[in-house]
């Protein structure tokens, strides 16, 4: 819902009704993941996408019907279905979509939380005794609403907080009373967590390019360098924040979680060795360092002298990036972003034309 949130708020303030089509789950090579959304207003305005163009035409008509009836419905499209072929889902995937009336007040609440940087999750009952439609709003310390039963609510709140902590959107399959090994109840949990952080160290031309692509991928980007002449907002326009401080000191006082990525571009031992000593002991999702293979071997020796073990050193991606043959800062930034993406989703980094099987990976 995030990609249509601003429009839902606008429609609510303009007094316009609408419906939201949200991907609940996918199979095989469906183009969009759970949580992707398309919204249709009562007067026919369309925003967002659920399939990259495959089924939007059919869902537009369904959404108009939902606006008129006020009743949510669940639609499923698969490559083996005549309906899917008729509307263009020829990519070999399947997707299940919940189409429900838009809730302007909820959109306002979610938008306010996003603007304030406050984590919030919305759990929607897709299948179950009282579904589809009921919703729970879950925050780290509170919740409101109900999916129809206290035990079900308690189980969903617990799982939703786990997804929210990871900034993940997902589908839960439970029993009618929230039994973990049960069936018959499906709940979509959409997380609206603050954006993950990308910490870039070394205010060089490569850092400017990495900051731009990091922002494009949805990270909140901080660039840090101890040299004030280089660490300026003018030189690094893609960064949300530019910090002048010794890198290892800044990282030591900065919150790092399982979604944070760290890119060390200094390739100077006096900066990167103490920095990597701190970085490799954090829960960061990714730690990459620029430099030649000789520089990498020298770093490893220095880090071992500082007491880092082999498991910690194995987390280091160095030389940074995938082998794309990159030369320019922009090409190198693509290489770094590709490595981060591949590690996040379990990709191989190989050409898709050389592989078989599903194009899209589930989260590892």
DSSP classification of residue 194? P
- 169 and 216, same domain (yes or no): no
For the segment 331-348, the average pLDDT, to the nearest whole number, is: 93
Residue with tokens 């163009």: 53
Rounded to the nearest 5°, which phi and psi values hold at 34? -55, 135
pTM of the complete model: 0.74
Q: For residue 333, is pLDDT > 90?
A: yes
- 212 and 158, same domain (yes or no): no
Mean confidence (pLDDT) of the chain: 90
Q: Which of 173-182, 279-288, 330-339 has the weakest average pLDDT?
A: 173-182
For the segment 220-224, the average pLDDT, to the nearest whole number, is: 96
What digits encode the pLDDT tens for the residues 57-77?
889 999 999 999 999 999 988
Please name the residues in contact with 286: beta carbons below 8 A apart, sequence gap of 6 or more.
Answer: 261, 262, 317, 339, 340, 343, 344
pLDDT of residue 239: 96
> Considering only CA atoms, which of 34, 10, 31, 30 is closest in space to residue 21?
34
Domain membership of residue 256 as a residue range: 197-345
Which of 176, 192, 208 lies at the terminal end of a domain, its last residue?
192
Q: Which of 87-91, 164-168, 222-226, 254-258 has the weakest average pLDDT?
A: 87-91
* CA distances in angstroms from 84 to 20, 39, 63, listed in the order given: 20, 20, 17
- 317 and 217, same domain (yes or no): yes
CATH number (domain holding residue 316): 3.40.50.720
pLDDT of residue 52: 67
Please answer whether residues 198 and 214 qualify as being in contact, where contact means their C-beta atoms are separated by less than 8 angstroms: yes
For the segment 322-342, the average pLDDT, to the nearest whole number, is: 95
- 246 and 270, same domain (yes or no): yes
For the segment 310-331, the average pLDDT, to the nearest whole number, is: 95
Total domain count, the chain? 3
DSSP classification of residue 2? G
- 247 and 299, same domain (yes or no): yes
> Considering only CA atoms, which of 147, 250, 242, 252 is closest in space to residue 189?
147
Which is it for strands 135-139 and 120-127: parallel, antiparallel or unpaired? antiparallel
For the segment 215-220, the average pLDDT, to the nearest whole number, is: 93
Percent of the chain beyond pLDDT 70? 92
pLDDT tier at 56, thresholds 50, 70, 90: confident
pLDDT of residue 131: 78
């Amino acid at each position: 819902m995030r990609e249509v949130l601003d429009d839902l708020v606008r429609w609510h303030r303009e007094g316009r009704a609408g419906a939201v089509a949200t991907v609940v789950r996918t199979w095989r090579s469906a183009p969009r993941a759970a949580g992707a959304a398309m919204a249709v207003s009562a007067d026919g305005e369309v925003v967002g996408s659920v399939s990259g163009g495959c089924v939007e035409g059919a869902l537009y008509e369904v959404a108009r019907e939902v606006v008129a009836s006020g009743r949510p419905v669940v639609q499923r499209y698969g490559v083996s279905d005549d309906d899917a072929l008729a509307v263009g889902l020829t990519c070999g995937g399947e997707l299940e979509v919940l189409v429900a009336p838009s809730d302007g007040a909820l959109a306002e609440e979610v938008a306010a939380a996003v603007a304030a940087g406050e984590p919030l999750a919305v759990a929607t009952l897709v299948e179950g005794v009282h579904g589809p439609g009921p919703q729970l709003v879950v925050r780290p310390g509170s919740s409101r609403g109900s999916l129809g039963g206290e035990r079900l609510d308690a189980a969903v709140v617990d799982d939703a907080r786990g997804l929210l902590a990871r900034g993940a959107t997902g589908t839960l399959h439970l029993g009618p009373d929230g039994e973990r090994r049960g069936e018959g109840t499906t709940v979509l949990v959409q997380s609206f967590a603050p954006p993950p952080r990308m910490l870039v160290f070394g205010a060089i031309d490569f850092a400017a390019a990495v900051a731009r692509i990091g922002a494009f991928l949805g990270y909140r980007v901080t660039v840090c360098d101890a040299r004030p002449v280089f660490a300026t907002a003018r030189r690094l326009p893609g960064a949300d924040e530019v910090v002048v401080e010794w890198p290892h000191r800044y990282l030591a006082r900065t919150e790092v979680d399982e979604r944070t990525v760290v890119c060390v571009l200094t390739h100077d031992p006096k900066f990167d060795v103490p920095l990597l000593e701190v970085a490799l002991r954090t829960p960061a999702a990714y730690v990459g360092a620029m430099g030649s293979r000789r520089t990498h071997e020298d770093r490893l020796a220095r880090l071992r002298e500082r007491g880092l073990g082999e498991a910690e050193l194995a987390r280091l991606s160095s030389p940074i990036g995938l082998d794309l043959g990159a030369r320019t800062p922009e090409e190198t930034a693509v290489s770094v972003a590709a490595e981060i993406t591949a590690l996040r989703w379990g990709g191989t980094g190989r050409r898709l034309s050389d592989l078989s099987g599903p194009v899209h990976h589930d989260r590892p």
